A and B are shown apart, each in its own frame.
Chain A
Amino acid sequence: MEQRIVTVGYGDVKKVNIGGTLPLAFVGGPCAIEDRDHAMFMAESIAEICDKLDIPWIYKSCYDKDCRSSPKSFHGVGIDEGLKILTEVRETFKVPVVSDFSDASWAAATGEVCDMVQVPAYLCRQTSILRAAAATNRPILLKKGQFMSPWNMKNSCRKLEAFGNEQIILADRGTFMGYNMLVNDMTSFPIMGYTGYPVCYDATHSIQLPTSMGNISGGQREFIPYLVRSAVANGINLLFMETHDNPSKALSDANTVLDIKYLENVLYQAKKVHEMRLELFEELGPDNVHPTNE
């Protein structure tokens, strides 16, 4: 299977190449854009860490959170204000930016500004959303729905391909195990990788306990480093983590975002494990254990 490389970044931002045996890339930021100053502060803080570790990265933050558990939850700053802030982030820090969109009519404007568009997990097989994502002509970060098998993500890829976009990155953000609980099936990475597209691990949503706290989601942040090491060793190309300077006050995903004070530690480990995997690849070649059916 030909391994595709997806390049994120247009104009004069630092382009991020993702896939194959390229260095591990990172995508992260606060779950929701809270306000202009916070976004700029977070981008500056993440940039400092990624520059220090020499990790290519993409700033992620969303302008509209349409899948919150409660009508009282913060919904977002809205598309106009959000895209204005993301524009300032990318122009100031020369970093590619990504936001999801949960309404097909928002896709074009999102793609005008963002270097990559994200398809939310709950909408990963929604044809109108996939058509709109493809039409942006930007790379697409396609989250695997918590209800989807990794092999069935191929159907969503085929939709995007049919709509003319083959710049796809497939992300695992956990799979429902019963109610209010997610698990990571580590075979999802090679299985989604069989499509040829780069694969991403969304660590902070994977440790989410969806709507476990009545009308908000809980989480088990303490497992982030364990799962990140596992996923990176498994062969992911892109690591996704939401981060915040004050998680308990975060306006979205307060129980799952990683405190930025731990970001350098976790990214350092991820980079080291990735490099070790590439060294083993160089030494031993690709995994070649015979399947049971051969």
Chain B
Amino acid sequence: MKVQDVMITMGNFPVVDVKTILKEALTEMGEANLGLVCITDESKALVGLITDGDLRRKLLKVQKPFSAFFVDDALSHAKKNPIICNPNDNLKEVVQLMGDKQIWDLPVVDENNQLVGLLHLHPAIKKLIE
């Protein structure tokens, strides 16, 4: 079983571009009902990732007014080198990695550094126990 067999495909999870402000990124996350948003550049390469957890930690630290926080580039609050996986990776091994790292979602990036999908833990486990 490979990651690509169960990953959420492009268009079905939140992806924003590098010029997106934080407020717009949060809206995307809310609409998709997922706890993260991926940020890609002009060539659709993954350049950052924001998760609910990152935001929780930011909220306790940020000192500027919320109106200023919201207009920051989402990228400036993103994790720049997130853990990723490849569509051809073995699903079981990747799920094991997600367990070890306590990650619920993992961006799927191909050999050309293009974001091609998102591996969400629940459907991955469901697939493995079927």
Residues of A within 8 A of B (CB): 149, 151-152, 154-155, 158, 161, 191, 291-294
Taking the nearest CB of chain B, how far is it from the CB of A292, in angstroms?
Answer: 4
What number of residue pairs across chains A and B have CB atoms under 8 A from each other? 24
Q: Decide if B129 is an interface residue (CB 8 Å cutoff).
A: no
Q: A154-B21, A158-B19 are contacts. A293–B58 as well, Cβ < 8 Å? A: yes
Q: A292-B63, A293-B63 are contacts. A155–B58 as well, Cβ < 8 Å? A: no
Q: What CA separation (Å) do A75 and B75 show in the bound complex?
A: 45
Q: What CA separation (Å) do A293 and B71 show in the bound complex?
A: 16
Contacts of A191 in B (CB 8 A): 68
Taking the nearest CB of chain A, how far is it from the CB of B116, in angstroms?
Answer: 27
Contacts of A158 in B (CB 8 A): 19
Partner of B71, one of A152, A161, A291, A294: A152
Q: Decide if B43 is an interface residue (CB 8 Å cutoff).
A: no
Nearest 3 Cβ contacts at the A-B interface = A293-B61, A292-B63, A151-B68
Contacts of B21 in A (CB 8 A): 154
Interface residues on B, range: 10 to 19
Taking the nearest CB of chain A, how far is it from the CB of B41, in angstroms?
Answer: 14
Q: What CA separation (Å) do A161 and B19 show in the bound complex?
A: 11
Q: What CA separation (Å) do A152 and B69 show in the bound complex?
A: 10
Q: A293-B58, A293-B61, A293-B62 are contacts. A151–B67 as well, Cβ < 8 Å? A: yes
Beyond A149-B65, A151-B71, A292-B61: 16 further Cβ-contacts under 8 Å? A149-B67, A149-B68, A151-B67, A151-B68, A151-B72, A152-B71, A154-B21, A155-B71, A158-B19, A191-B68, A292-B63, A293-B58, A293-B61, A293-B63, A293-B64, A294-B61
Name which residue of chain B comes closest to A150, CB basis: B68
Q: Produce 1/0 per residue, B38-71, CB < 8 A to A.
A: 0000000000000000000010011111011001
Taking the nearest CB of chain B, how far is it from the CB of A147, in angstroms?
Answer: 13
Name which residue of chain B comes closest to A155, CB basis: B71
Tell me if B63 and A154 are in contact (CB < 8 A).
Answer: no
Tell me if A154 and B62 are in contact (CB < 8 A).
Answer: no
